[in-house]
Amino acid sequence: MSKLRVAAFTLSIDGFGAGPDQDLKNPLGIGGEALHKWMVGTRTFRNMVGEKGGTTDTDDGFTVRSFENVGAWILGRNMFGPIRGEWPDGSWKGWWGDNPPYHVPVFVLTHHEREPSVMEGGTTFHFVTDGIHSALEKARAAADGKDVRVGGGVATIRQYLQESLIDELHLAISPMLLGSGENLFAGLDMLKLGYRCTEQVATPDATHVIIKRD
Amino acid sequence: MSKLRVAAFTLSIDGFGAGPDQDLKNPLGIGGEALHKWMVGTRTFRNMVGEKGGTTDTDDGFTVRSFENVGAWILGRNMFGPIRGEWPDGSWKGWWGDNPPYHVPVFVLTHHEREPSVMEGGTTFHFVTDGIHSALEKARAAADGKDVRVGGGVATIRQYLQESLIDELHLAISPMLLGSGENLFAGLDMLKLGYRCTEQVATPDATHVIIKRD
C-alpha cells in the first residue's frame, strides 16, 4: 500500500531539523550541514553527488531505504529554494543542479503559482498552491501505488503530522546541539496524534529511529 | 575540581524528561517509568533496589558513572515528592523509603521551610528556600570537593542550565515518544548557553549523550 513517509530526516539532540538563518550559502541553516555527517559519508550519498567510495554500513542502509519505493515527493518551498514571495521568473530550479536526485515528480508547496519545471533524469517540479491535502492527492496519483516521501523542511512535516497523515518517519538524531532553528516536535503531542517509536538503531554519527502511526 | 553535573537523566525522543500527570502512583508521570527501561535492568540499579543480577554492559557503565564522585545532590521539590504548598508535617521523606539511594546530603528546592530529615545510610534531606544559587553553595560546601549532582526534575535542571551553571550532562534518550510533559530544551538555546555534545554511545534501550559547557 502506498505510504506517506518521512525518511532520512535529521534532527539535533535538541530537536531542530535545520539551523537558524537559512540562505543561499546555508541551505540547511547555520550548523545544519554538520547535522548530516552520518549521511554524507555513505556510498549512496557519494554516488548521488557523483563521487566514488563511501561507507556501506547501517548509515548507508538507512540512506538506501530512504529512496526505496518512492514514487513522488512533497517539499516545502524553503526546501526547494531561498526565494520568498512571488517567483520573479522560472530560473530558480532548486538547489540540486540540472539533474536533481529525485527522478520522479516532486510537488512543491507554495502560495505563488508557477509552471512546472521539467528537469533531467525524470524529476519534474510541480508547484501546488492549494494546500497540503491537494499536494498529497496529486503526489499519490503521480506515485502510482508507490510511496510519497515528504522531504521537508520541518514546517512541512509538521503540517502533515498535525493531521496524522504521515504513516512512517525515519529520523536520524545527530549527536550535536543546534540551539535554535525549526523544532520538529514543539507543541505537537505525538502520542495523541497516534505515533509510536518502533525501532532504534544507533551508529557513531546518528541514532536512527522509526516512528509509525498506530 | 568539583563539577555541577546532571547524570543518567532520561529523555524521550520528543524531549520530555517525565510524562504528564505526575502523582503518587506515577512519580515520573504517565509513561515515565518506561522511559527508564535502559536503567532498571542494570546490575547497579537492581543492587540499589535490593535485587540481584542485572546487566553489566554500557547501560550499567553509565549508571555506575552517574554515582561516581558525587558528594551532594540537588533536587527539585517535585522530584522529592508529590506534596505542593506548605508541608503539613515532616512525615513525607521522599519516594525512596528509610534508606534512600543518595547516602550524602541532598538539598531540596522548596518555597516552604522545613527542618532537615536525617535518613538511614548517610542521606540527609535539607530544604532550601532561598533559591538555586543558595542551594548550589550549600551543596558545594557539603560535597567537600566532590561533584554536586542535580537529580532533576526538568524544571530544576532548566533553571541551572539557563545560567550556564551545569558543567556536564549525561542524558539517556529512550526510543519512545511521550507526547507531552516537561520538555528539557524548549526555549533554551543550548549553543548560546555554551554547551556542546561531546560523546554519543548507543545501546538498544537508549542513546547516551554527554553534553559539556565550553
| Closest residue to B177, CB basis, from A15, A176, A211 | A211
Grid-cell match 549523550, residue found:
B209
Question: Which of A177, A189, A192, A197 is the mutation pick for testing B, counting most B CBs within 10 A?
Answer: A177
Please check whether residue B31 touches A, CB under 8 A: yes
pLDDT of residue A27: 66
Which whole-number Å values give the CA distances from A142 to A61, A122, A123, A163, in the listed order?
A: 26, 12, 12, 22
CA gap A29, A56 in Å, rounded: 28
Decide if B120 contacts B44 (C-beta within 8 A).
Answer: no
Residue A69 has pLDDT above 70, yes or no: yes
Grid cell digits, residue B72: 551532594
Would you state the CATH architecture of domain B4-84+98-213?
A: 3-Layer(aba) Sandwich (3.40)
Mutation choice for B interface testing from A6, A13, A201, A203 by most B CBs within 10 A? A13
**ipTM of this complex prediction, to 2 decimal places:** 0.88
Instruction: Evaluate the CA torsion angle B33, A200, B196, B71 in order and state its sign.
Output: positive
Kindly state whether A194 is in contact with chain B, defined as any CB-CB distance less than 8 angstroms.
no
B141 touches chain A (CB under 8 A): no
**pLDDT at residue A80, rounded to an integer:** 92
Task: Report pLDDT for A34.
Answer: 85
Residue A31 predicted with pLDDT over 80: no
Average pLDDT over residues A64-90: 93
Say yes or no to pLDDT of A176 above 90: yes
Q: Are B20 and B88 in contact (CB under 8 A)?
A: no
* pLDDT tens digits, one per residue of A115-174: 999 999 999 999 999 999 999 999 999 999 999 999 999 999 999 999 999 999 999 999
Superfamily of segment(s) A4-19+27-83+98-213: Dihydrofolate Reductase, subunit A (3.40.430.10)
d(CA B119, CA B95): 12
Contact (Cβ atoms closer than 8 angstroms) between residue B114 and residue B90: yes
B187 touches chain A (CB under 8 A): no
Q: Closest to B209 (Cβ–Cβ): which among A175, A195, A204?
A: A175
Q: Which of B14, B177, B211 sits opposite A177 (nearest CB)?
A: B211
State the pTM of this model.
Answer: 0.91
Residue A102 in contact with residue A123, Cβ under 8 Å? yes
Check CB contact under 8 Å for A190 and B196: no
Q: Identify how many contiguous H helices and E strands chain B contains and give both numbers.
A: 7, 11
The cell numbers describing B151, all together, are 537529580
Low-confidence ranges of chain B (pLDDT < 70): 19-28
Instruction: Enter the C-alpha cell of residue A167.
Output: 504513516
pLDDT value of position B179? 92
Q: What is the pLDDT averaged over residues A186-193?
A: 96
Contact assessment for residue A105 and residue A137, using Cβ atoms and an 8 Å cutoff: no
State the average pLDDT for chain A. Answer: 93
Domain residues of chain B, as ranges? 4-84+98-213
